[in-house]
Structures are given as C-alpha cells and as structure tokens.
Structure 1
Amino acid sequence: MDTLAWSCRIKTARRKKRLVKTDRDKQLIKLAKRSRQIDEQLRSMPMVTIDKPYQRGWKRTFVLTGDMKQSRKAKFYEVLLSKINTVAYHHDKSFKRKKRRKCRYVFKEMEQLLQEFTAHKWNANKANLTDEEKSCFIRVETIDSNSRNIKVNYVFSEPWRYTLKVIPHIVTHVKLMDADLKSESLVIANHIKNYDLWPRINLLTRGKSYSWYYRYYERQKYINKLKNKPRYCSKEAYLDL
C-alpha cells in the first residue's frame, strides 16, 4: 500500500525519534531563554536604603602608600588605582584562611593582587586606560595546563606604589529581591546542573559545547608566525622568527 497518496502519512520509527529529540531541544532552548530573562530581571532590581546600617565583616582594598601621596604623580596613580583596584571581603580582620599542611591545619594569609587584564580585555580596553597608563603594564605569558595554550596577561609593573588597607564593611543598601523569581531561578539552575544540560544548551544556542574561554587563545602548534608579516619585509625580519 502506497502511503504517499494519503492525506496524513504514518510516522516512521526514525521520524518519531527525531521528533522527540527536536521537541527536547526546543524545551532546552526555552529553558535557557527563561533563565536569562530571570537573571536580567533580578539584576535590574533597585537598591534600597536600610534604616539601621550594620557591619558585615571586613573588606580589604589597595590605597596609595604614604610616600606616594606626597609625590608629584600622586594624582596620576590615584586615577589608575580606581581602574585596577580590587576588594576582598572576609569575616576576620586578619584575612587568614585555614589550610591543611603536613597533616595539620595552619592559617595562611589570603593573597590579593591588583587587577590583571587578559589579551581580550586589553584589546577591548573597557577600563579606558590611556597610553601613559598602559606603559605601566608588562606582558606576561604563561602556559595553561588545561588547554595547553599560551595565556597572555598584562600585569601592573609597579605594585609597590600601593599598600593594602583593612576597613570595616558597613552595609547601608540592600538589593530588592523577588522571592518568586529567585525560587524559579534556583529550580532551573538545579535542573540544568543535576542533568548536566549546559553542554547541550551551549551547542543549541551558541553552536559549541565548550566554554567561550578557549576562543581567544590559539594552540601553540597552530600559530603561524608568518601570518601577519607582509611579503615586502626584509630578510632579517623572517630570520628573527
């Protein structure tokens, strides 16, 4: 019997499996879209002032040293600090963490560094660094053990100009929260985490199942040193490679 002449054809077993998979993918796309909408709504919640401010632990940040405050370039480094400063929070004023070493626990001070810029952030320059400020950074190359790629960071070359200062962390504003949105966000996050759905969601929405991090780094064996060299360069320029 020829089923092509029928107004409604019978679905084959292969088509049924394909429809089930397609419907599941549509559900994952809808789930990811809803998760993004909830995150945007939670981020757009306003900050409200509380009646009684309270202290919640301590915070540590960088400030200019005493000698630098008296120097002629104090204003320049103060502006630069506002772009590369980092803040750490801790419940104890000593900023020490318990760490196990040789079958016993010791307290080790937390390390805090100035902000470093990756190659992507350096080229994007979202921190609005000037040419004079960029001259204070050096290029540092390290090998990433996970991706086996060369990782490029731009590090501030004069960290001795700043020192750490510990001050009380006073809470004066809190973010307004929606209990229903927060509960729905946790339900979606737990469902995606428990069933390991992020690789499939990334494949459907972004075209790749791995993280965006590796897009900005090229493997060492695939780097072509002649790619950006014009053909009219001198012979010595090629011999230096």
Structure 2
Amino acid sequence: MENYFLDDYINGSRLKSKRKKKQLVKKDFEKQLIQLSKLEKELWKKRNNLPLIPLETPYQKGWQRYFILREDVARSNDALFYNNLLEKINTVQYSSEKSFKKKKKKSRKYVCNDRSQFLKEFFEYEWASPKLDLTEKEKAHFHKVQRWWPNWKCYRIHYVFDEPWRFVFRVRPNMITHTKMVDADLESEIDQLDNYITSNFLRNSMVRIVHGRVKHKRLKEKEISKY
C-alpha cells in the first residue's frame, strides 16, 4: 500500500523515477548518435561532390583490366545486345602488375597465382528490385546459384550470367587524368569528427542505432552444385 501511494505521489508531482531518468538519458544519447551520423554523412557527401581538376601532366598508375566482347561475338548479329548487357555487368580490376598475378606463400615459398575476376552477379534482393537495369530478355541469360557464405554461416542466392565465354579480358594502362579538389577546412572538420567518434568509442553504437542489428536467416546445409 505504501508503494502504491509513493508511486501515485511521484506521478502526481511529476518526479521522474530512476528507471525513467535512465530511459531519458539513453534516449538523449541515441538522438546525439543519430545527429552525429547525419553530420558525418553530410560531410562525406560534400567531399564526394567536390569537382575533379584536370592534371597538367597525366600519369600512369598501374594497370586496369576489364571485359570486352570476344572477336567472333563482336562480329555476330547479337553484338549490340551483348555489348549493351556487358555495360551493365562489366567489372574493373586494378593492379600494379600487368600480369595481374598475386603472390601467395606456399611451403615457405612465394607462388604467383592469377587474380580472379568475374562478371557482376546479383543478389536476390537486387534481382527483385524494380531498380534493376536489366530487360526481360537480358534476365533470361542468367541462372540462379546458391553459395555458402562461411562468414555468415548461411547460403545466399546469386544470379549469374550463363555465357561468360562471350567476353575476354583487356588490359590497359590506368591513366590518371584528374584529381579531386581538396577542401582543407572540410577535411579538418571530417578529421575532428572522426577523432571524436573514435576516441569516445561511438562507432559501433552509431551503426547499431542507425542501421539496427542485421539478422541473417540461416538456410539448411545441403549439397549444391558448384558453379
């Protein structure tokens, strides 16, 4: 009975209980994290929107590799179709070596292996999105594949192009012709904000509050054919 009258008195006098105070402090803290995240995104956006400045003397920085139509495909009646499709699924890699090989230590020795490069694949959510820039005819040239993701411990569905043999690699010098304009004041502001977030260990809390905790649905393990 005494507790009842005490609670009634607290509510009537608009005094905050310890639990209520704790909730308000937490809510205020989360609001501050959201504001920090918005400010950080705004600063990054300003940096990304800075114009490119042409260099007086372009220079080469390594090599780039991408896909082009194979010669016989380029001469075929379907060349235009596959060229348009390639523009949507092409990928580019950069390397300091023209051979695009990477060193890997094996049996106390370094072995050079070819770097893998594949055409763009689509996750299930991308495939179902209305923003997907593929026609129905282009979609017909893809098939569905399930792959095991060890980091997430689940299977994920990919949509993969049926005929990668229609394309071959082309390697070209990676020429740097422009540089991004640098705003010293903006960079200083970004550094100060990043130092504040890092020194106060706020990064993980910001991600959790803004993006939430991602839940991954695990699929049953089963034998699937390798692509």
Query: TM-score when scaled to structure 2?
Result: 0.79
The answer to whether structure 1 residue 128 and structure 2 residue 133 are counterparts is: yes
Partner residue of 1:31? 36
The answer to whether structure 1 residue 219 and structure 2 residue 218 are counterparts is: yes
Q: Which amino acid aligns with 1:91?
A: S
CA distance, structure 1, for counterparts of residue 114 and residue 122 of structure 2: 24
Is the partner of 1:220 in helix, strand or coil? coil
Q: Which amino acid aligns with 1:171?
A: I
Deviation at 1:21, TM superposition (A): 4.0
Partner residue of 2:58? 53
CA distance, structure 2, for counterparts of residue 40 and residue 149 of structure 1: 34
Q: What do residues 145-183 of structure 1 show as CA deviations (whole Å, max 9, x unaligned)?
A: 233332000001100000001001112222222223223
The answer to whether structure 1 residue 201 and structure 2 residue 200 are counterparts is: no
Contact 1:64 / 1:161 at 8 angstroms: preserved in 2?
Answer: yes
Aligned residues: 211
Contact 1:83 / 1:127 at 8 angstroms: preserved in 2?
Answer: no
Which runs of 5 or more structure 1 residues have no equivalent in the other structure? 222-241
Matches within 5 A, 1:87-166: 87-166=92-171
Partner residue of 2:182? 177
Q: What do residues 181-209 of structure 1 show as CA deviations (whole Å, max 9, x unaligned)?
A: 22332443455456553442234334x2x
CA distance, structure 2, for counterparts of residue 174 and residue 200 of structure 1: 34
The answer to whether structure 1 residue 66 and structure 2 residue 71 are counterparts is: yes
CA distance, structure 2, for counterparts of residue 9 and residue 160 of structure 1: 74
Deviation at 1:15, TM superposition (A): 6.2
Deviation at 1:10, TM superposition (A): 8.3
CA distance, structure 1, for counterparts of residue 105 and residue 206 of structure 2: 38
Deviation larger for 160-169 or 139-148: 139-148
Query: TM-score when scaled to structure 1?
Result: 0.75
CA RMSD of aligned residues (A): 2.8
CA distance, structure 1, for counterparts of residue 99 and residue 199 of structure 2: 37
Which runs of 5 or more structure 2 residues have no equivalent in the other structure? 1-5, 221-227
**Identical-pair percentage:** 38
